[in-house]
Amino acid sequence: MASVAETSPDSTNLKLTELLKEVKLDYSAANTKIVNDVVSSIRDAIDEISDGLQVTADVAPGFVRDVGADKVEFKFRKPKSVEIGGSYSFQCVARPDVNVDIFLRMPKECFHEKDYLNYRYHAKRFLYLCIIKNHLKSSSLVQDVRWSALHNEARKPVLVVYPAARLSDNSVFSLKIIPTAPSLFTVSKLNLERNNIRSLSQATPKYNSSILEDMFIEDNAEIIKRTFMGCKELGEALLLLKVWARKSSLCVHDCLSGFLITVIVAYLASKSGKNRINSSMNPMQILRFTLDFIANSKVWDSGLFFHPEGERKISNKDRMAKLESFPIIICDSFADYNMAFRMSPSGFQELRDEAALVLTCMDKCKGGGFDEIFMTKIDYPAKYDYCIRLNLKESHDFHDSGFCLDDECWRSYEQKVLSVIDQALRGRTKLIRVIWRNTSSECNFENGLSMLDEEALFIGITIGSMEEAFKQAVMGPSPEDKEKALEFRKFWGDKSTLRWFRDGKIAEVAVWEHEEWEKHLIIKEITEHVLMRHLSLPKQNIIPIVDQLDFVLRHGNGDPISFSKNLLKAYDDLSKHLRLLDDIPLRISSVQPLDSAFRLTSVFPPAPHPLAHEEGIRVKLEKPTATCIQPLEVMIQLEGSGNWPLDELAMEKTKSAFLLKIAESLRNKQGIACTATEDDVDVFMSGYAFRLKILHERGLSLVKKQGGAQTKHVLSSDKRVFLRGQHSSMINGLRGRYPVYGPVVRLAKRWVSAHLFSNSLTEEAIELLVAHLFLKPLPFRPPCSRITGFLRFLRLLSEYGWTFSPLIVDINGDLTPDDDREINENFMSNRKEYEQNLQNVKPAMFLATTYDKESEAWTRQSPTAADLRRLAVYATSSANFLSNIIMKNQIDSYGWECLFRTPLNNYNAVILLHRDKLPYPQHLLFPSEVKLGKHVIRGNASKTFHPFLLPGDMKENLEVLKNKLMVNFDPLRYFVTDIEASSKFPFSLCFN
């Protein structure tokens, strides 16, 4: 992240300059010679191949068989030319992947005039490369030769040569040998309406385009080269676009490639594109214009056509024919070949959406969105709300008709899966992407294509509206519309039922009934149902990433959040009772909840306790019944009066007197059980203990100072209660806007606790960190699933520049530019104060809000700089691990559990407590384990404290049992406090 001071145009330009230095390839004479020498060695190795060598299908029988080719024998002839092309030829290669394209022009003598039929061309093309590969391996300048696929098209393999030589900076580079075939066939034989696969009965536009690509690749590369040569700004803009596309995970076979990015920029700079880009524009202006064109231009509806001077223009008839065959058109200068023939509608939609997000980043993010656009990793696990993997390794249904027809079976199956899921989730989603990356550098194409299905097919789903996404019913047609009703029943199968609604309407519906806290499972169950029904996939082969982390929030068979309705009703009843009190000197003017359980962000909101009820309520004791109960703090304010004392101690005593009077009134008039101490009053209602806190405005300005080795500023009790009230109110409002916010916070808190950071990061700080993900999600959209939100939380912890920037959380959009300046000044002043010793900087995590512009509420003392570094390391490890198991075939629960298992061997001493003496044993996820010979002191548990009522206690009367209740007693917390107080040496204490 950029520092506060680095938001000026000059600093952004400096960053761009540094980024370009990093991604530009050094085209020095030394490097040019190295590359040219390797290319010469490739030419020499190919020249050594004997002309007239007989080539048959036996060279690669598996490939020939799987593409279904016939008549593939030919005599080898040396290529007509081996020349450098692609981005390297006009100095626009973007590091770190340094690939040099080599155009290898195949001779016409190796082909027959009708080899455009029945995959003969593809088979011969591959066999020709096989002969070359065998000879290249013998070259002393070549370290390795591997197969790859041109734009992930398995029927068009290419050779990737890894030379032994390295560039002058010792970096590795590779050369991609791409066969070309200019003027090999008559172009009219490959027009879109023709069928060139005799086993099919329809036109084969994609097959034809695959051949045309090789025929026109050299000509198109030359046009592009002429556009970029001599225009530095255009080349730099292209590099920036490539960096963005890679970071945004857009370089996929059906979306974008380095070649297509180059083509789009070249179009905008050409007369065909009306010279929209010109030499007076700087790289960022070109980048912005290009992205705006991608995101918003209507030209895409009619197609992009290159029309160099003196050449014919396409007729409307030809234009319409192309638009009917392909969703996106980018035609070459002769309008015979669509360079975007692989691009799918969903791929293009994602490209436009991502381009629009970049434009938003430029307008709304500091520094012109540099960090968001070029430095933030937008991979699939963080981008999509729901991820699904289909393991098709054992299934051969998708290629029963053959691996390659007009399109490849993988691409056809992608569209089949997309069609089914799109119909099932219609109205719930903004975007559905189905991607099968079926080729890799380890592919051995000689053996055929049957092994290319080992990688799982990936489905990414972006939610459009949470309200729509979590709807439990899919409304169908009226049974009177028999045709549509039959179609509905056919699609949904046994999930379709006929229902009669209250308004008298009768309709077909498919229903997924779930409690409020389980509605995130609806999309999972819908997709599983339709994939199993329409694609005959076994359930174990469908892996939706939806609920794998739910185990950390559940207790027994349910989520404790289910008790929240009871809690909120009990709180409402308490509020009414308090406001009705009329026998206290000052009436209660407002009541506000403070505890995280009220805003549904508590990991374990309390369940109703059988002994915490109003007097006279008959209850049934459970087994076991806890003796400890956690109070839920509630803030009350009294009507104004000028008679309050000014002295802080006297004010606290007055508040205690009021609380005692309130308790007495509740007990006498309402029959509500209360307990009172000098400091607190606890009210028992409907199974809950509510702890009342009085806020008085005069106490807000009081700040205590505590001495010691270092002076600490401690907020007054009123100020802390006020801040908690402000925080609670804002978080409640935010939660109402983003239903998934609560579950994400709970996962984040669980992770912090599991890795023993509970004493470093407060509940409120975690809630603000997660709030930031929803309020300022760019370059993403706000998360709509708990796992995606949790991953982004981990990355925020690990990647944010805490040393250089405050994190400003503006929940209600109240902060003005003046407020921002004040916060930044506070931050810079804080850092300047500690610049000599950044280890002791406080707060190390600067969280600023509308109510706390100095970050004094939740992070003043913790986390320390050391804690924050440890947090970042743990978060980085967890984020990487989570990303990996989302994308890999991880189906066992242990892998997911590892996210919440912390290594105890990192500590000098570990204390294990007796589980049967803990009042809340269900809060522990796993048994604690200490390995590698760590010594743990063992002792006998005390017999004095019992966290649950003993069997003999159950015979006693209700009042006696109620007296055994211990409010706010947590032996773990007191134990930790005692250790801290008795220690003579500085140490860091972590606990869970």
DSSP 299: G
How far apart, in whole angstroms, are the C-alpha atoms of residue 549 and residue 785? 11
CB 801 within 8 A of CB 2: yes
- Supply the DSSP string of 326-340, one letter for each residue: -SS-EE-TTSS-BTT
Burial of 389 (0-12, 13-18, 19+ CB in 10 A): buried
Specify the amino acid at residue 561.
I
Q: What HEC string does 947-980 produce?
A: CECCHHHHHCCHHHHHHCCEECCCHHHHHHHHHH
Torsion angle defined by CA atoms of residues 66, 70, 74 and 79, in that order, rounded to the nearest 10 degrees: -50
Q: What is the pLDDT of residues 477-493, one digit of tens each?
A: 999 999 999 999 999 99
Q: Which residues pair with 590 in a beta bridge?
A: 637
Q: What was the pLDDT predicted at 934?
A: 57
How far are the Cα atoms of 818, 826, 835, 872 from residue 830, in angstroms, in the given order? 18, 6, 9, 21
CB 568 within 8 A of CB 688: no
CB 418 within 8 A of CB 816: no
Residue 146 CB neighbours (<10 A)? 16
How far apart, in whole angstroms, are the C-alpha atoms of residue 886 and residue 449? 26
122: which 2 tokens? Answer: 């593809």
Q: What is the pLDDT of residues 714-751, one digit of tens each?
A: 677 888 899 999 999 999 999 999 999 999 999 999 99
Residue in the block written with tokens 């895409």 = 300
Q: Is 549 helix (H, G, I), strand (E, B) or coil?
A: coil
Residue in the block written with tokens 């972590």 = 990
DSSP 986: -
Residue 440 CB neighbours (<10 A)? 14
Specify the amino acid at residue 436.
W
Burial of 361 (0-12, 13-18, 19+ CB in 10 A): buried
CB 572 within 8 A of CB 918: no
Strand order in the sheet with 506-511: 473-475, 506-511, 496-500
How far are the Cα atoms of 183, 263, 285 from residue 312, in angstroms, in the given order? 18, 20, 32
How far apart, in whole angstroms, are the C-alpha atoms of residue 690 and residue 203? 74
CB 389 within 8 A of CB 457: yes
Those residues of the chain that have pLDDT short of 70 are: 1-9, 308-314, 334-335, 396, 441, 616, 699-714, 835-839, 889-890, 929-937, 984-992
21: which 2 tokens? Answer: 């230095």
Q: What was the pLDDT predicted at 557?
A: 81
How far are the Cα atoms of 295, 687, 692, 763, 778 from residue 629, in angstroms, in the given order? 56, 10, 15, 19, 42
CB 609 within 8 A of CB 687: yes
User: How many CA atoms lie less than 13 Å away from 292 in the CB half-sphere?
Assistant: 11
Predicted TM-score (pTM) of this structure = 0.93
Residue 583 CB neighbours (<10 A)? 11
Contact residues for 772 (Cβ-Cβ < 8 A; gap 6+)? 796, 807, 809
User: Which residue from 69, 50, 79 is spatially nearest to 122, judged by alpha carbons?
Assistant: 69
* Terminal-to-terminal C-alpha distance of the chain: 31
